[in-house]
Amino acid sequence: MKKRWTVLGVLAIAMSVALTGCGGGEKAKPAAQTNEIKIGGNVEMTGGVANYGNQALSGMKLAFKQVNESGGVLGKKINLILADNKSEPAEAANATTKLITQDKVSIVMGPIVSSNVLATVKIAEDNKVVVMTPTGTNEKITVDNGKVRPFAFRACFIDPFQGRVMANYATKSLKAKTAVIYIDSSSDYSKGVAAAFEETFVKNGGKVAGKEAFLQKDQDFKATLTKIKAMNADIVFIPAYYEEVGKIVKQARELGINQPLLGTDGWDNPKVVEIAGAAALNNTFFSNHYSSQDSDPNVKKFIDAYKAEYKEEPSSMAALGYDAAMIVIDAIKRANTTDAAKVKEAMEQTKNLQVSTGIVTMDSNHNPIKSAVVIEMKDGKQTFKEKINP
């Protein structure tokens, strides 16, 4: 009898454990978790490029809010789980690790700037987790040493494309014969764009009169700008981010550098006007992902929705955050799962998808085939100049 009761006791304990594992105990997952899709957000919410990060994040949130309000994806609501990478590559790597190991996501949105994305893609690849950066333009994010990174994607055009766009604009539209290239030597983004610009500018018959460099967070640029002024080139190309760009433009104009100053999508931030001043930014031009003055009705639809949500006009960063989310949503729907391998395959097959900045088709290198625009600054306002197709 004693043995029989012992056996029955063991069976009772085993049944109790089994029931607990099925959801009857304290460790059971709340029912709500089974009705959500967790997507990670590795975003520059604080730090040197927080303006970019928070704008892109606003675009992502709008897209996910819209899809959730229309019934969600696969019958589930999207839960965007955020990690602040503080605008630092090491923190971006830590954020990716946390989102994958602790939050158990299979898709990570972000980071925003190229150096931070490059710090995360290997971690995601090793864990077979999809990374979708809205705005990381460095070529190596999706292709390294000639090999496509299987789980890395982006919603923006790449550095070589916008470098070529601005070199062509300089030589063909501005008729520039000589240029000075002034880069942020601490930025992979800046160096990548500059290399493509130089190659195309020289190919078009132009001459690079000089190349100078600064470091992120520098404050005083006048010594180098004095050297640049002495070169007397037709244009100065400055592929950099808004914080330094604003200071460089302001100090350049104070020194009497009145030539056209050219840049890239890193210029697209209201802070540039605050820092440089509206007058100093006259006769400046930069490449961008979209213009609010574009006549495309889909662009207007996005702008109206963004204004209704945030009471302000979206920047290109916000538009790309929205686009990245829409590409991910579309891929999950077509994959009919959040399994990273299947979402990856669906994302590779993205074709003619309507997003806020136009129509997107993903190429074999996981880069979207899409147009660029050239923006001119006039009295502190962005003015649409021309649209360039890939």
Interval 49-93: pLDDT, tens: 999 999 999 999 999 999 999 999 999 999 999 999 999 999 999
* Chain-centroid distance, C-alpha 30: 33
Sequence ranges of the domains in the chain: 32-157+296-371, 160-288
- Asked if residue 314 has pLDDT above 70, the reply is yes
pLDDT of residue 3: 41
Residue pair 58/310 in contact (Cβ under 8 Å)? The answer is yes
pLDDT band for 298, please (50, 70, 90 cuts): confident
Interval 95-146: pLDDT, tens: 999 999 999 999 999 999 999 999 999 999 999 999 999 999 889 999 999 9
Measured from the Cβ of residue 51, the count of other Cβ atoms closer than 10 Å reads 19
Structure tokens at 268: 């697209």
Please, where are the H alpha helices in 289-377? 297-310, 316-335, 340-348
pLDDT band for 30, please (50, 70, 90 cuts): very low
Residue whose entry in the numeric block shows the structure tokens 């019958």: 75
Q: What is the mean pLDDT of the chain?
A: 90
pLDDT band for 34, please (50, 70, 90 cuts): low
User: What are the b/e assignments for 169-201, b being 16+ CB within 10 Å?
Assistant: bbbeebebbbbbbbbbeebbbbbbbbbbbbebb
pLDDT of residue 370: 86
Can you tell me the mean pLDDT for 137-166? 94
Q: What pTM was estimated for this model as a whole?
A: 0.77
pLDDT of residue 24: 38
First to last CA, the chain: 83
What is the CATH architecture of 32-157+296-371? 3-Layer(aba) Sandwich (3.40)
pLDDT of residue 357: 85
Residue pair 267/285 in contact (Cβ under 8 Å)? The answer is no
Hey, which bits of the chain come out as E strands? 36-43, 77-84, 107-109, 130-133, 143-144, 147-148, 152-154, 178-184, 207-214, 235-237, 261-263, 284-288, 353-355, 358-362, 368-369, 372-378, 381-388
Hey, which bits of 85-234 come out as E strands? 107-109, 130-133, 143-144, 147-148, 152-154, 178-184, 207-214
pLDDT of residue 230: 98
- Asked if residue 26 has pLDDT above 60, the reply is no
Report the alpha-carbon distance of residue 336 to residue 263 in Å, rounded: 41
Report the alpha-carbon distance of residue 189 to residue 194 in Å, rounded: 9
Interval 211-252: pLDDT, tens: 999 998 899 999 999 999 999 999 999 999 999 999 999 999
- Is-same-fold flag (32-157+296-371; 160-288)? yes
Can you tell me the mean pLDDT for 344-367? 95
- Asked if residue 337 has pLDDT above 70, the reply is yes
pLDDT of residue 147: 97
Can you tell me the mean pLDDT for 20-45? 64
**Domain 160-288: which CATH class?**
alpha beta
